[in-house]
Amino acid sequence: MPQYTPPLRDMQFVMHEVLHVVDELKALPPHAEIDAETINAVLEEGGKFASQVVFPLNLSGDAEGCTLDKATHAVTTPKGFREAYATYVEGGWPALSCDPEYGGQGLPHLVNQSFYEMLNSANQAWTMYPGLSHGAYEALHAHGTSQQKQTYLPKLTSGVWTGTMCLTEPHCGTDLGLLRTKAEPQGDGSYRITGQKIFISAGEHDMAENIVHLVLARLPDAPAGSKGISLFVVPKFRVNADGSLGERNGIFCAGLEHKMGIHGNATAQIVLDGAVGELVGEPHKGLAAMFVMMNAARLGVGMQSLGLTEVAYQNAVAYAKDRVQMRSLTGPKAPDKPADPIIVHPDVRKMLLTARAYAEGGRALCAWTALQLDKSLASEDEAERKEAADLVALVTPVVKAFLTDNGWIATSACMQVYGGHGYIHEWGMEQYVRDARINMIYEGTNTIQSLDLLGRKVLADNGAKLKKFGRLVQDFVEEEGINEEMQEFVNPLADLGDKVTKLTMEIGMKAMGNADEVGAAAVDYLRVCGHLMFAYFWARMAKVALEKQGSGDPFYAAKLATARFYFAKLLPETATLIRTARAGVKPLMVDEALF
């Protein structure tokens, strides 16, 4: 059976020893009273909930899945899911980072994101039910009317209601400009919405008394394409003037997808048959409003794969220390046993260290990104808010795509450590691989994230956002340039920073002549940028570990060993990526008849 221990020590290392988040957060008025003890205590309790309440349901929930009663359109979640959610609500966990005006606890997003990492390690399928509610909360908080906020936000904050995002339709995925769902005004401020949505995560379930659907649809006078999309809030049960639940709305689950992973989450086919909804934000501006939820979801998906990478690593390393197979090439390491533990073999260590390096690098990047998100929302300094918002915009597609690619690599490697046992359900590893695969696809495929990074976030503003991150790298390199102990980390970081600058300029120049050059280079380019960001944070973590290794704490020795592995064995991937990105579009755009 799988096991999971919340990585609290590493979270504390990143937050307090590397990023010094308390000093940063105290400068923000909403978090002026925050301290390390509070952060640590909340995450310790959150780790207990994740490991003791949600984690035991992961394997069984995957085997059982969700069931749909086609007569009533009701969905039953796996055994224990509903009870775990009730415990989650009773503990006040949904309110962690929500606005106190609506019953929230007002803690930093950083704390909430760290909690969600642990939930995703414990049970990604279960975590998607409350996770999507946060996105719905954020969208309504940013764009809802005063009445909509009063109606929906307290319920979403408490967790009594959950939320979804209804975007995709059978004929269109990412290209939302093709959607056909219609919204007819009723003359009283409401709309009747008709259409079909698919792949709606947590679209129907038995865990909460109401589900708040955020639905994209077209008004009768809507222009074609993405500029004709409006956003509507459509509750499963209509809400009376006094806040109580009224009649069942015309939105229901017509089917559940039979899918590769995340079996415990209800991926619903949703039919809207004259469902009553309210407009959120301005007419025809729904995509911009929904992007609040979509960006939150993209960061959340990165956290999903970070969680899976961590739990897969923990289980694989425990197995590798216990499983005996063959002898070490340099002679027996466990002469009292018939064979050596497989952790003695170099390639097994390579697989384990790959997962560990991607987990710990991802944790540092995600914590820093969440801190920038808190600054962008709460700083009193407009320039600081803008700087932080630009950095979050730049990094969001990297968190989504780089971390989920790494999660696929890491979970696959950890399954390989188990050999044949990794392919067997009861060990839990094959589930992590299956669950990880969807993370590269939904909330915008990783190719879409790559196009977003290179096209919108880098080339569209002539590299302004990228230069802001580049300045962080440059400042660190200059600070540590004379530190002899840091050369093995600083030199490759500086070298990659220069190469990213040159690669960006080269692709930009080529794209002026042929826009397809962006599509040809984007995926490789994002991965290079992901490594630049990881290298920066791994260098910062190595600096702290070097300073504290004299303490004798093996934590710092392990951190240094992993940093050295990352720079020696994983970062060199960028050489190939840069070369293939520079190869351009010509090898790809061959005559269609040749396919």
**Residues that are catalytic:** 443
Q: Which residue has the tokens 């020893």?
A: 17
Q: What is the dihedral of CA 263, 266, 267, 271, to 10 degrees?
A: 160
Helix, strand or coil, per DSSP, at residue 246: strand
The C-alpha atoms of residue 493 and residue 490 are separated, in whole angstroms, by 5
The C-alpha atoms of residue 367 and residue 299 are separated, in whole angstroms, by 11
Calculate Rg over the CA atoms of the chain: 24
Q: Which residue has the tokens 């503990």?
A: 91
Longest dimension (CA), the chain: 83
**Is 24 within 8 Å of 127 (Cβ atoms)?**
no
The C-alpha atoms of residue 359 and residue 339 are separated, in whole angstroms, by 30
Strands (E), 250-326: 251-256, 267-280
DSSP secondary structure string, 285-298?
Answer: BHHHHHHHHHHHHH
Strands (E), 437-543: none
Residue 210: how many other CB atoms lie within 10 Å:
18
400 φ/ψ angles, rounded to the nearest 5 degrees? -65, -50
Q: How far is CA 251 from the centre of its chain?
A: 28
Write out the two tokens for 274.
């004259």
556: Cβ contacts below 8 Å, ≥ 6 apart: 544, 545, 548, 549
Helix, strand or coil, per DSSP, at residue 60: helix
Using H for helix, E for strand and C for coil, what is the string for 139-208? Answer: HHHHHCCHHHHHHHHHHHHHCCEEEEEECCECCECCCHHHCCCEEEECCCCEEEEEEEEEEEECCCCCCC
Tell me the torsion sign for CA atoms 318, 323, 329, 331.
Answer: positive
**Is 304 within 8 Å of 124 (Cβ atoms)?**
yes
492: Cβ contacts below 8 Å, ≥ 6 apart: 535, 567, 571
Alpha helices, DSSP H, located in 514-588? 516-548, 554-565, 573-582
**Is 305 within 8 Å of 436 (Cβ atoms)?**
yes
DSSP secondary structure string, 326-344?
Answer: S--TTS-S-TTSSS-BGGG
The C-alpha atoms of residue 226 and residue 177 are separated, in whole angstroms, by 4
Burial class of residue 588 in the structure, from the number of CB atoms within 10 Å of its CB (0-12 exposed, 13-18 middle, 19+ buried): exposed
Strands (E), 433-475: none
The C-alpha atoms of residue 568 and residue 546 are separated, in whole angstroms, by 17
Alpha helices, DSSP H, located in 379-428? 382-417
